[in-house]
Amino acid sequence: MLIFVYGTLKRDGSNHHYLEGQRFVGRAVTKPLYRLYDLGGYPGMVADPELGSPIEGEVWDVDRGCLQRLDELEDVDGGEYAREVIPLEAPFSGDEIQGYRYLRSVAGCRDLGASW
């Protein structure tokens, strides 16, 4: 499965080891539908179709075991993040690539612009 990562999971990020053994596909950028916020040690990408900007990240090809570990890291079951299809620009436009969208409030958090 192809997955878009934009924060600590990127190469040289503090949680990149979760992607050990997986295949890097390439750099990517989202459609301008999101905002990226500093959540204190890691970023959160939230939907903002009106004021969104393209978020920079990477696409990785991950196996089922890795995907389960990523879901745990992102606390999908606890409601911190949702894993969903993330619309990306070319060369990935139209592909069904998933990523993690932050679900909680970002009130008082610093807007990071396009990149973590």
Query: Among this protein's residues, is 89 annotated catalytic?
Result: no
CA 74 vs CA 53, 92, 97, 115: distances in Å: 22, 23, 17, 18
Active site residue: 58, 74, 84, 96, which one? 74
Instruction: Tell me how far apart the alpha carbons of residues 98 and 116 are, in angstroms, rounded to a whole number.
Output: 18
Residues 6+ apart with CB under 8 A from 81: 44, 74, 75, 100, 101, 102, 103
Active-site positions?
A: 74
